[in-house]
Amino acid sequence: MKILVTGGAGFIGSAVIRHIIRDTQDTVINLDKLTYAGNLESLAEVSDSERYHFEHV
């Protein structure tokens, strides 16, 4: 399954993405505007996964 997470670089979104990549076989598409609240460093552990994709809007 493919899961779209909006705001995935934020506190809650990044926790959801880490959980999905760690505990499921699903693919995650992270759609984020990267405003003041976005922090891609919180996704460093999943950024190399083939099942994780980031799109900046």
pLDDT at 3: 99
Residue given tokens 């995650």 in the structure block: 28
pLDDT at 41: 95
pTM, entire model: 0.93
Please write the tens of the pLDDT for every residue from 2-48.
Answer: 999 999 999 999 999 999 999 999 999 999 999 998 999 999 999 99
pLDDT at 15: 98
With 0-12 / 13-18 / 19 or more C-beta atoms within 10 angstroms meaning exposed / middle / buried, residue 30 is buried
| E strands present in the chain | 2-6, 27-32, 52-56
Cβ neighbours of residue 49 closer than 8 Å, sequence gap 6 or more:
21
For the chain, what are the domain ranges?
Answer: 2-56
Both tokens assigned to 18: 């880490």
